[in-house]
Amino acid sequence: MTEPILRVEHLVKHFREGRHTIHAVNDVSFEVYPGEAVAVVGESGSGKSTMARCIIRLERPTAGRIVFNGEDITHHSARQMRPARRMLQMVFQDTHESLNPLFSVRRILREPLILHGLNHDKTQILGALEKVKLDQNHLGRRPHQLSGGQKQRVGMARAMITRPQFVVLDEPTASLDMSLRLQTLNLLRELQRELNMAYLFISHDLSTVRHLCDRVLVMYLGRIVEAGRVEDVFDHPRHVYTQALLSAIPIPDPTIQRQRLLLSGETPSTRQLKPGCGLQDRCPHVSAECRVPIPFYKVSDGHVAACRLAKPPIIEEKL
Ligand SMILES: Nc1ncnc2c1ncn2[C@@H]1O[C@H](COP(=O)(O)OP(=O)(O)OP(=O)(O)O)[C@@H](O)[C@H]1O
Ligand SMILES: [Mg+2]
């Protein structure tokens, strides 16, 4: 059995905000295997980026464990993280926070190679630029002289230049037009094959997730509510939240019937988290068992949902 490249165990991340606590990530556990593409979906504020930042140790987890390549990195300092960092990269949702505004593209790409003692001659840098379809005229530019899409691609080139085994991509295609989006997705597939690279792909673009990823984690209010192979979860969603999320996208296959499902009310605040299902005040199927912690029910191999509707039926034994 292959070992997972990443293991996240009971990850919790809370932020203090004055007298309040923001429950951004609440007991999330999952594994990613080498070469696997795992998507994270869920509405804005569901904790996707916070979880990602904890995984690559830009944030200190409040509780839980992060194991990368067999090494517990949960409490690593920046210096302790350095060897792992080469193999564990991230492409950020917001390039403003990630590209040093004072550095040229050349320097942005050279920096990680130097840091990790890798060959940093011009061919390496040009190769990385070419992979993201940027020509060498961009080498001397600084981030403010690039478009949003170009910055996004520089961020991607920088993350890939150390040939990592695992990359977290937070909305990597959000500021790209359709043709660049497709190129980027092809690049990801290529790297996945070439380096057996695994990635965590955070996205609101459910059709891209469907085409690109092997597995999907659905998050709501800082918890995973459903997980499984993309086909299983997308074609047979069992959690009411997943059903609502998916019912917003058109279905290309007319043989699949899906009811449009609209949830009532608003997503509750992450300041007051109730025990039980996050959807308990919005779900048309709510019952008493939704107000206590919900276990994951197995729907099929590798497909689980934290919803009483996914509970296997009780088969009454005949006496
Ligand atoms: N540094 C911080 N301090 C306080 N609260 C934070 C901080 N970072 C995130 N949060 C809060 O944590 C919750 C989760 O935010 P997060 O950015 O992880 O969501 P997201 O799923 O990535 O959303 P989006 O799809 O909009 O990117 C939100 O309520 C957010 O306001
Ligand atoms: Mg985010």
Q: What is the mean pLDDT of the chain?
A: 90
Question: In which band, very low, low, confident or very high, does the pLDDT at 318 lie, cut at 50, 70 and 90?
Answer: low
Domain locations in the chain?
Answer: 1-87+164-319, 100-158
- Predicted confidence (pLDDT) at residue 257 exceeds the cutoff of 60: no
C-beta of 54 in contact with ligand 1 (< 6 A): no
Contact 26 CB / ligand 1 (< 6 Å) = no
Pocket lining: 25 vs ligand 1, CB cutoff 6 Å: no
Coil vs helix vs strand at 88: strand
- As a whole number, mean pLDDT of residues 18-27 equals 94
Rounded average pLDDT over 184-205: 88
Bridge partners, 23 (sequence order): 14
Q: What CATH architecture is 1-87+164-319? A: 3-Layer(aba) Sandwich (3.40)
Sign, CA dihedral 21-23-24-30, equals: positive
14, 57, 277 from 222: Cα distances, Å: 10, 17, 11
Which whole-number Å values give the CA distances from 31 to 146, 169, 228, in the listed order?
36, 16, 12
pLDDT of residue 251: 60
* Nearest residue (CA) to ligand 1, atom 28: 45
Q: Which two tokens stand for residue 118?
A: 């890798």
Distance, CA 119 to ligand 2 centroid (Å)?
A: 33
Query: What would the pLDDT profile of 232-244 be if each residue is shown by its tens digit?
Result: 999 999 999 999 9
From the CA of 42, the nearest ligand is 1
Cα dist. 154→122, 135, 318 in Å? Answer: 16, 11, 65
pLDDT average, residue stretch 256-263: 64
> 261-287: per-residue pLDDT in tens?
678 888 888 888 889 999 999 998 999
Share of the chain above pLDDT 70, in %: 94
Average pLDDT for 179-191 = 83
- Return the ligand 1 atom nearest residue 15 CA: 4
